[in-house]
Amino acid sequence: MQIDIVSVFPEFFDSLNVSLLGKAQESGLLDIHAHNLRDWTHDVHHSVDDTPVGGGAGMVMKPEVWAECLDDLLQLPDTGAAPRSLPESSPDKAVLIFPNPSAPLFTQTAATELSRAQHIVFGCGRYEGIDARVPQYYAEQGVDVREYSIGDYVLNGGEVAVYAMIEAITRLIPGFMGNPESIVEESYTGDPLLEHRQFTKPAVWRGLAVPEVLTSGDHGKVDRFRRDEALERTSRLRPDLIELLNCADLDKADRKTLIELGWEVSSVHPRHLVQKKQA
């Protein structure tokens, strides 16, 4: 997979060369480049932003600079005219992603889909964001353009969000992880449940004991204990995820556990029986 990142702080991404991401680049599985948007400016001040049309605080990133940069990275001709229709399912069709706090949430489902892409270009906005015509223009050229937020809070720029998305996407590329089983087991893949707790030795530490069933050697009991713990933690911390489960996929023991936790499991999705308190 080729990843191009455009930012006014490309140094921010230097640490992508360490750890598992560094290894994946050495092995040729991944090729990541961080580019400085200012390299595509022509004026002496290398300016990338301007005041918002219609007024208001802050600055907006200029469309011309972004377009010169993105035309290069996407290898598109710099015409403002006729949209090029790119073949819909071309395997090397690039995905262009703009981090944006006012966009849909980036989820594990998006990460999984994007882990199959050949080429991703990330455009990191700063200030009040990028002129809205930039994503519109590339979408009209036939590019697969996405905008994602990583959560309901505001960051100073898209860099941290892009870093998070790159980690989530690349670890799902086949061959990236040493132990692919750890991907299958963890939260948000397979059943969208939070994970059970993990313990290592010693069995008692500072007076706190590991749950006894985990040391029993009975794998059936261990699996059931962990599954119940995942259901209980999800019910308590993220009931919205329980509501997405399909009752038909739950086994008898899952149903029993959910019923004990106050869920009704005889319709399509679980429903909580106790009315939630009004805000």
| Shortest distance in whole angstroms from residue 109 CB to ligand 6GU | 17
Which residue in the set 44, 57, 81, 154 belongs to the binding site for ligand 6GU (CB under 6 A)?
154
| Shortest distance in whole angstroms from residue 250 CB to ligand 6GU | 33
Instruction: Tell me the number of residues near ligand 6GU by CB under 6 A.
Output: 12
Tokens of 51: 């005041």
Asked if residue 202 has a cis previous peptide bond (ω within 30° of 0), the answer is yes
Distance of CA 207 to the CA centre of its chain: 39
Based on its alpha-carbon atoms, the radius of gyration of the chain, rounded to whole angstroms, reads 24
- Regarding 157 and contact with ligand 6GU (CB under 6 A), the answer is yes
Site pattern 161..200 for ligand 6GU (x: CB under 6 A): x---------------------------------------
Segment lying near ligand 6GU (by CB under 6 A), choices 34-42, 73-81, 152-160, 223-231? 152-160
**Rounded Cα gap, residues 188 and 191, in angstroms:** 7
- Regarding 151 and contact with ligand 6GU (CB under 6 A), the answer is yes
Q: Which secondary structure element, helix H or strand E, spans residue 235, and what is its range?
A: helix 219-237
Distance of CA 55 to the CA centre of its chain: 33
Q: Which is nearer to ligand 6GU, 16 or 250 (CB)?
A: 16
Query: What pairing do the DSSP bridges indicate for beta strands 95-99 and 144-148?
Result: parallel
- Regarding 257 and contact with ligand 6GU (CB under 6 A), the answer is no
Q: Which secondary structure element, helix H or strand E, spans residue 138, and what is its range?
A: helix 133-140
How many other CB atoms are found less than 10 A from the CB of residue 48? Answer: 24
Segment lying near ligand 6GU (by CB under 6 A), choices 153-161, 177-185, 202-210, 260-268? 153-161
Contact positions toward ligand 6GU, by CB under 6 A? 99-101, 149-151, 153-155, 157-158, 161
